[in-house]
Amino acid sequence: MIREKRWEKILSLLEKKDSLQVSEISSSLNVSEATIRRDIIELDQQGKLVKVHGGVLKSNNSYVVRDLTMSEKHDLNLQEKQKIGAYAATLIEPNDFVYIDSGTTTEALAMHITQKDATYVTNSLTVAHILIQKGLHTILPGGEIKVSTEALVGSETVDAISRYNFTIGFFGTNGANEDNGFTTPEVNEARVKQIAMEHTKRKYVLCDHSKFSVISPISFGKFEDATIITDHYPKKKKKNIVEVK
């Protein structure tokens, strides 16, 4: 079966179900799973579906109304997150006052940080742990712990962050859309992101390609408010987008 015909059949299968496993597609098309995985990568890069661990999701701007847990998100687009995080870490300069948001992509950033002559503020317990293990000067604001994302949220967190002025900040997002901006499912976490972004001079959103087909209920910033670091942007490239290969 030629490639274009396989692609047509894969997308046809997705019209009937919102998600599919690689094994399901392989069985339906009588094609090897290795071939299907290659097809999925190409269709994902074209924005026609969303590649996830072990399968695919429909791509028509899917609405995500709940946060996945950190364990659920951890293996999604892992290689892409590592590349994004590695690049973002090079942007931190001596004497920077750095904000790092919660999320698995910002965790990848934390793992690659080598700049010791900087101060780091984060609302992520996991990011804080990574930074502390590196011996970096790290500040945690107060607040309530949101279990699903292991993030500090609430009025105490917002009050603490609003007193800071960051030279550079790195933000995670559930969705990124030119019309809806940066979005996340929960209002308390969105408020923390919004306030931190408002108090940051050089703003970066770390966002793998799958987020461009997702919209969540709460917006915390406009699409043009930050530089977006991604592995692939499926539309015509904009000035504020950096693609890391």
Q: Is the pTM of this model over 0.95?
A: no
Question: Where is the domain boundary, 60, 88, 106?
Answer: 60
In a domain, 65, yes or no: no
In a domain, 161, yes or no: yes
- Digit-coded pLDDT (tens) for 70-120: 666 666 778 999 999 999 999 999 999 999 999 999 999 999 999 999 999
What letter would DSSP give residue 134?
A: T
Identify the burial level of 2 via C-beta atoms within 10 angstroms of its C-beta, where 0-12 means exposed, 13-18 middle and 19 or more buried: exposed
Locus of tokens 């047509």: 8
Number of domains in the chain: 2
Residues 41, 85 share a domain: no
* Residue 25: pLDDT over 90: yes
